[in-house]
Amino acid sequence: MTNLDPDLRTARPAAARLFVGTYAGGGGEGLYPLHRDADGGQWAMYAADEAAQNCSFGVYAERTGLHYLVDEDGGSVGVFRNGGGASEGWACLARIPAGGAAPCHIALDRSESWFAVANYAGGSIMLQRLDPQTGLPVDAPIVRANAGSGPNPDRQEAPHAHWVGFSPDNRWLYATDLGTDQVLAFAFDAGDGTLGPPIVAFDAPPGSGPRHVLLHPYRPGLAYLACELTSELILLDVAGPAFVARTMVSTLPAGAAAGSIVAHIAANAAGDRVYVSNRGDDSIAVFALDDRGEPRLMEHVASGGASPRFFLLLEDEKQMIVAHERDHRVTRLDIGPDGTLSPTDTGIVVPGAAFVLDARPRSRVEPPVG
Protein backbone atom coordinates (compact mmCIF):
# COMPACT_ATOMS: atom_id res chain seq x y z
CA MET A 1 0.00 0.00 0.00
CA THR A 2 1.13 3.55 -0.74
CA ASN A 3 1.09 6.11 2.05
CA LEU A 4 0.56 9.82 1.55
CA ASP A 5 3.78 11.61 0.64
CA PRO A 6 4.08 14.66 2.93
CA ASP A 7 5.41 16.69 -0.01
CA LEU A 8 2.06 16.28 -1.73
CA ARG A 9 0.00 17.83 1.07
CA THR A 10 0.42 21.33 -0.34
CA ALA A 11 0.54 20.32 -4.01
CA ARG A 12 -2.23 20.10 -6.56
CA PRO A 13 -2.12 17.92 -9.67
CA ALA A 14 -2.43 19.47 -13.11
CA ALA A 15 -5.61 17.44 -13.52
CA ALA A 16 -7.38 14.75 -11.53
CA ARG A 17 -10.19 12.43 -12.42
CA LEU A 18 -10.85 10.67 -9.12
CA PHE A 19 -11.54 12.40 -5.83
CA VAL A 20 -12.03 10.84 -2.41
CA GLY A 21 -14.68 12.27 -0.10
CA THR A 22 -13.73 12.01 3.57
CA TYR A 23 -15.11 12.32 7.08
CA ALA A 24 -13.54 15.01 9.27
CA GLY A 25 -14.03 12.69 12.25
CA GLY A 26 -11.63 10.25 10.60
CA GLY A 27 -9.03 12.93 9.94
CA GLY A 28 -10.23 13.91 6.47
CA GLU A 29 -9.70 17.51 5.41
CA GLY A 30 -12.04 17.59 2.43
CA LEU A 31 -12.08 16.19 -1.09
CA TYR A 32 -8.73 14.61 -1.99
CA PRO A 33 -7.53 14.41 -5.62
CA LEU A 34 -6.25 10.94 -6.42
CA HIS A 35 -3.73 10.75 -9.26
CA ARG A 36 -3.06 7.42 -10.96
CA ASP A 37 -0.53 6.52 -13.63
CA ALA A 38 -1.63 5.10 -16.98
CA ASP A 39 -2.13 1.54 -15.73
CA GLY A 40 -3.42 2.54 -12.31
CA GLY A 41 -0.49 0.85 -10.63
CA GLN A 42 0.98 3.89 -8.85
CA TRP A 43 -1.18 6.34 -6.94
CA ALA A 44 -0.50 9.71 -5.33
CA MET A 45 -2.85 11.76 -3.16
CA TYR A 46 -2.73 15.54 -3.19
CA ALA A 47 -3.88 18.32 -0.88
CA ALA A 48 -7.58 18.22 -0.06
CA ASP A 49 -10.03 20.80 -1.31
CA GLU A 50 -11.53 22.02 1.94
CA ALA A 51 -14.65 23.41 0.25
CA ALA A 52 -16.24 19.93 0.25
CA GLN A 53 -16.29 18.64 3.81
CA ASN A 54 -17.70 15.29 5.01
CA CYS A 55 -18.64 14.31 1.46
CA SER A 56 -20.05 10.82 1.89
CA PHE A 57 -22.09 10.81 -1.33
CA GLY A 58 -22.69 12.91 -4.43
CA VAL A 59 -24.29 12.99 -7.89
CA TYR A 60 -23.37 14.62 -11.18
CA ALA A 61 -25.76 16.50 -13.51
CA GLU A 62 -24.87 15.98 -17.16
CA ARG A 63 -27.04 18.88 -18.31
CA THR A 64 -25.24 21.56 -16.31
CA GLY A 65 -21.93 19.88 -15.47
CA LEU A 66 -22.52 20.42 -11.74
CA HIS A 67 -21.88 18.10 -8.80
CA TYR A 68 -24.24 17.93 -5.82
CA LEU A 69 -22.36 16.75 -2.72
CA VAL A 70 -23.71 16.08 0.75
CA ASP A 71 -21.95 17.35 3.87
CA GLU A 72 -23.03 14.63 6.27
CA ASP A 73 -21.74 16.21 9.46
CA GLY A 74 -22.72 19.73 8.41
CA GLY A 75 -26.28 18.80 7.44
CA SER A 76 -26.11 20.51 4.06
CA VAL A 77 -25.83 19.99 0.31
CA GLY A 78 -23.26 21.87 -1.76
CA VAL A 79 -23.46 22.64 -5.47
CA PHE A 80 -20.01 22.44 -7.02
CA ARG A 81 -18.28 22.95 -10.33
CA ASN A 82 -15.00 21.15 -10.88
CA GLY A 83 -12.52 23.44 -12.62
CA GLY A 84 -10.31 20.52 -13.60
CA GLY A 85 -7.14 22.61 -13.72
CA ALA A 86 -4.14 23.10 -11.46
CA SER A 87 -5.41 26.32 -9.91
CA GLU A 88 -9.19 26.21 -10.30
CA GLY A 89 -10.10 23.30 -8.02
CA TRP A 90 -13.70 22.92 -6.84
CA ALA A 91 -15.92 26.01 -6.79
CA CYS A 92 -18.88 25.92 -4.42
CA LEU A 93 -21.71 27.79 -6.15
CA ALA A 94 -24.35 27.29 -3.46
CA ARG A 95 -24.90 25.53 -0.17
CA ILE A 96 -28.29 24.82 1.38
CA PRO A 97 -29.59 22.94 4.46
CA ALA A 98 -30.46 19.32 3.73
CA GLY A 99 -33.77 19.46 5.59
CA GLY A 100 -32.50 17.18 8.35
CA ALA A 101 -29.40 15.90 10.10
CA ALA A 102 -26.76 13.59 8.64
CA PRO A 103 -27.62 13.66 4.91
CA CYS A 104 -26.15 10.43 3.55
CA HIS A 105 -27.58 9.96 0.04
CA ILE A 106 -28.69 12.17 -2.83
CA ALA A 107 -30.34 11.53 -6.20
CA LEU A 108 -31.33 13.58 -9.26
CA ASP A 109 -34.68 13.11 -10.95
CA ARG A 110 -34.74 12.03 -14.62
CA SER A 111 -35.05 15.63 -15.87
CA GLU A 112 -32.21 16.81 -13.60
CA SER A 113 -34.49 19.60 -12.42
CA TRP A 114 -34.87 18.26 -8.87
CA PHE A 115 -32.74 16.49 -6.31
CA ALA A 116 -33.79 14.46 -3.30
CA VAL A 117 -31.79 13.84 -0.12
CA ALA A 118 -32.02 11.14 2.55
CA ASN A 119 -31.25 12.35 6.07
CA TYR A 120 -30.16 9.50 8.30
CA ALA A 121 -30.69 11.24 11.64
CA GLY A 122 -34.40 11.91 12.15
CA GLY A 123 -35.45 9.91 9.10
CA SER A 124 -36.49 12.75 6.80
CA ILE A 125 -36.18 13.24 3.06
CA MET A 126 -35.93 16.56 1.24
CA LEU A 127 -36.94 17.43 -2.34
CA GLN A 128 -35.39 20.53 -3.91
CA ARG A 129 -36.18 22.23 -7.24
CA LEU A 130 -33.28 23.35 -9.46
CA ASP A 131 -33.17 26.28 -11.84
CA PRO A 132 -33.40 24.86 -15.39
CA GLN A 133 -30.63 27.12 -16.67
CA THR A 134 -28.15 27.38 -13.83
CA GLY A 135 -28.81 24.13 -11.94
CA LEU A 136 -28.88 26.09 -8.67
CA PRO A 137 -31.52 25.50 -5.97
CA VAL A 138 -34.68 27.62 -6.24
CA ASP A 139 -37.93 27.79 -4.29
CA ALA A 140 -38.58 26.33 -0.86
CA PRO A 141 -37.72 22.66 -0.35
CA ILE A 142 -40.27 19.97 0.41
CA VAL A 143 -39.48 17.93 3.52
CA ARG A 144 -41.14 14.70 4.63
CA ALA A 145 -40.31 13.08 7.97
CA ASN A 146 -41.04 9.44 8.75
CA ALA A 147 -42.04 7.94 12.11
CA GLY A 148 -41.57 4.59 13.77
CA SER A 149 -38.86 2.19 14.85
CA GLY A 150 -37.70 -1.40 14.44
CA PRO A 151 -36.79 -4.39 16.62
CA ASN A 152 -33.03 -3.66 16.77
CA PRO A 153 -32.69 -1.29 19.75
CA ASP A 154 -29.17 -0.19 18.82
CA ARG A 155 -29.83 0.73 15.18
CA GLN A 156 -33.61 1.02 14.84
CA GLU A 157 -34.64 3.18 17.77
CA ALA A 158 -36.00 5.79 15.33
CA PRO A 159 -36.45 6.38 11.58
CA HIS A 160 -33.21 6.48 9.55
CA ALA A 161 -33.63 7.40 5.89
CA HIS A 162 -30.67 5.97 3.99
CA TRP A 163 -31.36 6.13 0.25
CA VAL A 164 -33.52 8.01 -2.25
CA GLY A 165 -34.18 7.38 -5.94
CA PHE A 166 -36.61 8.24 -8.72
CA SER A 167 -38.56 5.70 -10.75
CA PRO A 168 -37.58 5.29 -14.42
CA ASP A 169 -40.79 7.06 -15.50
CA ASN A 170 -40.07 9.90 -13.01
CA ARG A 171 -43.49 9.52 -11.41
CA TRP A 172 -42.32 8.19 -8.04
CA LEU A 173 -39.71 9.12 -5.48
CA TYR A 174 -38.59 6.12 -3.43
CA ALA A 175 -36.81 6.10 -0.08
CA THR A 176 -35.48 3.42 2.24
CA ASP A 177 -35.76 3.69 6.02
CA LEU A 178 -33.26 1.53 7.87
CA GLY A 179 -34.90 2.32 11.20
CA THR A 180 -38.43 1.24 10.33
CA ASP A 181 -37.70 -1.62 7.88
CA GLN A 182 -39.61 0.14 5.09
CA VAL A 183 -39.29 1.22 1.50
CA LEU A 184 -41.49 4.28 0.97
CA ALA A 185 -42.93 5.70 -2.26
CA PHE A 186 -44.12 9.26 -2.90
CA ALA A 187 -46.10 10.28 -5.98
CA PHE A 188 -43.97 12.90 -7.75
CA ASP A 189 -44.78 15.48 -10.43
CA ALA A 190 -41.69 17.25 -11.74
CA GLY A 191 -43.71 19.86 -13.62
CA ASP A 192 -46.08 20.86 -10.86
CA GLY A 193 -43.52 20.35 -8.12
CA THR A 194 -45.78 18.20 -5.97
CA LEU A 195 -44.91 15.29 -3.71
CA GLY A 196 -47.64 13.04 -2.42
CA PRO A 197 -47.94 11.49 1.04
CA PRO A 198 -45.79 8.44 1.79
CA ILE A 199 -46.97 5.00 0.73
CA VAL A 200 -45.36 1.91 2.21
CA ALA A 201 -44.10 0.28 -0.98
CA PHE A 202 -42.46 -2.63 0.84
CA ASP A 203 -42.26 -3.93 4.40
CA ALA A 204 -38.80 -5.45 4.68
CA PRO A 205 -38.22 -8.36 7.08
CA PRO A 206 -38.18 -7.11 10.70
CA GLY A 207 -34.69 -6.09 11.79
CA SER A 208 -33.26 -6.29 8.26
CA GLY A 209 -32.45 -2.57 8.05
CA PRO A 210 -32.99 -1.71 4.36
CA ARG A 211 -30.07 0.47 3.28
CA HIS A 212 -30.01 0.98 -0.49
CA VAL A 213 -32.20 0.05 -3.46
CA LEU A 214 -30.62 -0.60 -6.83
CA LEU A 215 -33.15 0.06 -9.60
CA HIS A 216 -32.14 -2.12 -12.54
CA PRO A 217 -30.64 0.20 -15.19
CA TYR A 218 -32.58 -1.28 -18.15
CA ARG A 219 -35.44 -3.31 -16.67
CA PRO A 220 -37.84 -0.88 -14.95
CA GLY A 221 -39.80 -3.65 -13.24
CA LEU A 222 -36.82 -4.94 -11.24
CA ALA A 223 -35.01 -3.66 -8.17
CA TYR A 224 -32.55 -5.05 -5.63
CA LEU A 225 -32.74 -4.14 -1.95
CA ALA A 226 -29.55 -4.35 0.12
CA CYS A 227 -30.39 -4.95 3.79
CA GLU A 228 -27.63 -3.61 6.01
CA LEU A 229 -28.33 -5.37 9.31
CA THR A 230 -28.98 -8.90 8.01
CA SER A 231 -26.63 -8.83 4.97
CA GLU A 232 -29.36 -9.91 2.58
CA LEU A 233 -30.07 -9.02 -1.04
CA ILE A 234 -33.75 -9.05 -2.02
CA LEU A 235 -34.94 -9.15 -5.62
CA LEU A 236 -38.09 -7.04 -5.95
CA ASP A 237 -40.70 -6.79 -8.68
CA VAL A 238 -41.72 -3.13 -9.00
CA ALA A 239 -44.91 -1.57 -10.37
CA GLY A 240 -45.36 2.09 -9.42
CA PRO A 241 -45.56 2.25 -5.63
CA ALA A 242 -45.69 -1.53 -5.16
CA PHE A 243 -42.58 -3.60 -4.40
CA VAL A 244 -43.02 -7.38 -4.14
CA ALA A 245 -40.23 -9.67 -2.93
CA ARG A 246 -39.34 -12.54 -5.23
CA THR A 247 -35.95 -13.88 -4.06
CA MET A 248 -33.72 -13.35 -1.03
CA VAL A 249 -30.04 -14.34 -0.87
CA SER A 250 -27.22 -13.72 1.58
CA THR A 251 -24.37 -11.38 0.65
CA LEU A 252 -21.98 -13.22 2.99
CA PRO A 253 -19.95 -16.39 2.50
CA ALA A 254 -20.93 -19.48 4.45
CA GLY A 255 -19.41 -19.42 7.92
CA ALA A 256 -18.81 -15.66 7.95
CA ALA A 257 -18.24 -14.21 11.40
CA ALA A 258 -21.15 -12.44 13.07
CA GLY A 259 -21.34 -8.67 13.00
CA SER A 260 -20.82 -7.95 9.31
CA ILE A 261 -23.13 -5.37 7.71
CA VAL A 262 -23.85 -4.39 4.12
CA ALA A 263 -22.73 -1.08 2.64
CA HIS A 264 -22.79 -0.30 -1.09
CA ILE A 265 -24.56 -1.91 -4.05
CA ALA A 266 -24.08 -1.25 -7.79
CA ALA A 267 -24.60 -2.91 -11.16
CA ASN A 268 -22.30 -3.03 -14.16
CA ALA A 269 -23.12 -1.15 -17.38
CA ALA A 270 -24.51 -4.27 -19.06
CA GLY A 271 -26.94 -4.83 -16.17
CA ASP A 272 -25.99 -8.49 -15.75
CA ARG A 273 -23.73 -8.24 -12.67
CA VAL A 274 -24.50 -6.84 -9.21
CA TYR A 275 -21.84 -6.06 -6.61
CA VAL A 276 -22.43 -5.65 -2.85
CA SER A 277 -19.83 -4.71 -0.22
CA ASN A 278 -19.73 -6.35 3.22
CA ARG A 279 -18.27 -4.39 6.14
CA GLY A 280 -16.85 -6.75 8.74
CA ASP A 281 -16.37 -9.64 6.36
CA ASP A 282 -14.54 -6.97 4.29
CA SER A 283 -15.50 -8.50 1.00
CA ILE A 284 -17.28 -7.75 -2.25
CA ALA A 285 -20.01 -10.22 -3.24
CA VAL A 286 -20.45 -10.65 -7.00
CA PHE A 287 -23.80 -11.82 -8.36
CA ALA A 288 -24.69 -12.81 -11.93
CA LEU A 289 -28.23 -11.95 -13.08
CA ASP A 290 -30.10 -14.33 -15.35
CA ASP A 291 -32.72 -13.42 -17.94
CA ARG A 292 -35.33 -13.01 -15.21
CA GLY A 293 -33.06 -10.88 -13.05
CA GLU A 294 -32.51 -13.65 -10.51
CA PRO A 295 -29.18 -13.22 -8.67
CA ARG A 296 -26.68 -16.10 -8.56
CA LEU A 297 -23.64 -15.77 -6.34
CA MET A 298 -20.40 -15.98 -8.33
CA GLU A 299 -17.80 -15.21 -5.66
CA HIS A 300 -16.66 -13.28 -2.62
CA VAL A 301 -13.43 -11.29 -2.97
CA ALA A 302 -11.42 -9.55 -0.25
CA SER A 303 -11.80 -5.80 -0.67
CA GLY A 304 -8.26 -5.00 0.47
CA GLY A 305 -9.11 -3.07 3.63
CA ALA A 306 -11.38 -2.80 6.66
CA SER A 307 -15.03 -1.73 6.25
CA PRO A 308 -15.56 -1.17 2.49
CA ARG A 309 -18.14 1.62 2.65
CA PHE A 310 -18.24 2.53 -1.05
CA PHE A 311 -16.90 1.34 -4.38
CA LEU A 312 -16.75 2.85 -7.86
CA LEU A 313 -16.82 0.80 -11.05
CA LEU A 314 -14.44 1.99 -13.79
CA GLU A 315 -15.37 -0.51 -16.44
CA ASP A 316 -13.40 1.12 -19.27
CA GLU A 317 -10.25 0.44 -17.27
CA LYS A 318 -11.61 -2.85 -15.89
CA GLN A 319 -11.15 -1.63 -12.31
CA MET A 320 -13.14 -1.22 -9.09
CA ILE A 321 -12.01 1.47 -6.63
CA VAL A 322 -12.98 0.77 -3.00
CA ALA A 323 -13.09 3.26 -0.09
CA HIS A 324 -12.57 1.69 3.35
CA GLU A 325 -13.88 3.72 6.24
CA ARG A 326 -12.32 1.93 9.19
CA ASP A 327 -8.67 1.80 8.12
CA HIS A 328 -8.80 4.92 5.90
CA ARG A 329 -7.71 3.15 2.74
CA VAL A 330 -8.61 3.22 -0.93
CA THR A 331 -7.79 0.09 -2.92
CA ARG A 332 -8.08 -1.25 -6.45
CA LEU A 333 -9.63 -4.51 -7.62
CA ASP A 334 -9.38 -5.67 -11.23
CA ILE A 335 -12.55 -6.62 -13.12
CA GLY A 336 -12.30 -9.73 -15.31
CA PRO A 337 -14.09 -10.34 -18.63
CA ASP A 338 -16.88 -12.21 -16.82
CA GLY A 339 -17.32 -9.49 -14.18
CA THR A 340 -15.47 -11.31 -11.42
CA LEU A 341 -12.91 -9.45 -9.32
CA SER A 342 -9.23 -9.94 -8.53
CA PRO A 343 -7.39 -8.29 -5.62
CA THR A 344 -4.29 -6.17 -6.32
CA ASP A 345 -1.53 -4.65 -4.23
CA THR A 346 -2.51 -1.14 -5.32
CA GLY A 347 -3.89 1.23 -2.72
CA ILE A 348 -3.29 4.36 -0.71
CA VAL A 349 -4.08 5.65 2.77
CA VAL A 350 -6.71 8.40 2.71
CA PRO A 351 -7.77 9.75 6.12
CA GLY A 352 -11.51 9.45 6.69
CA ALA A 353 -12.15 7.76 3.31
CA ALA A 354 -15.90 7.46 2.66
CA PHE A 355 -16.70 8.04 -1.03
CA VAL A 356 -15.00 8.04 -4.43
CA LEU A 357 -16.09 10.53 -7.07
CA ASP A 358 -15.39 10.26 -10.79
CA ALA A 359 -15.16 13.89 -11.94
CA ARG A 360 -14.66 13.38 -15.68
CA PRO A 361 -17.31 14.83 -18.02
CA ARG A 362 -19.46 11.98 -19.27
CA SER A 363 -22.64 11.15 -21.09
CA ARG A 364 -25.45 8.81 -20.14
CA VAL A 365 -24.69 5.19 -21.09
CA GLU A 366 -27.05 3.69 -23.67
CA PRO A 367 -28.72 0.34 -22.89
CA PRO A 368 -27.08 -2.70 -24.45
CA VAL A 369 -28.59 -4.00 -27.67
CA GLY A 370 -30.35 -7.37 -27.52
Average pLDDT on 330-348 reads 96
Q: Which pLDDT tens digit goes with each residue over 228-278?
A: 999 999 999 999 999 999 999 999 999 999 999 999 999 999 999 999 999
- CA-to-CA distance for 17 and 84, rounded, in angstroms? 8
- Decide: 2 and 42 in contact? Cβ < 8 Å: yes
Residue 89: per-residue pLDDT? 82
Least Cα distance to 290 among 367, 205, 341, 216 occurs for: 216
* Amino acid (1-letter code) at residue 267: A
pTM: 0.93
- CA-to-CA distance for 176 and 178, rounded, in angstroms? 6
Domain extents in the chain: 52-250
Q: Which pLDDT tens digit goes with each residue over 353-366?
A: 999 999 875 544 44
- Decide: 175 and 186 in contact? Cβ < 8 Å: yes
- CA-to-CA distance for 111 and 94, rounded, in angstroms? 20
Residue 367: per-residue pLDDT? 43
Residue 194: per-residue pLDDT? 96
Least Cα distance to 295 among 186, 199, 216 occurs for: 216
Average pLDDT on 150-155 reads 98
Least Cα distance to 338 among 293, 286, 292 occurs for: 286
Q: Rounded mean pLDDT of the chain?
A: 92
CA 231 and chain centroid, separation: 17
Strand 261-267 versus strand 242-250 pairing type? unpaired
Q: Which pLDDT tens digit goes with each residue over 28-75?
A: 999 999 988 766 678 999 999 999 999 999 999 999 999 999 999 999
Least Cα distance to 172 among 163, 160, 180, 164 occurs for: 164
Assign 316 to helix, strand or coil: helix
Identify the H or E element spanning 13. none
What fold does the segment set 52-250 form as a domain?
Methylamine Dehydrogenase; Chain H (2.130.10)
Average pLDDT on 82-91 reads 69
- CA-to-CA distance for 66 and 82, rounded, in angstroms? 8
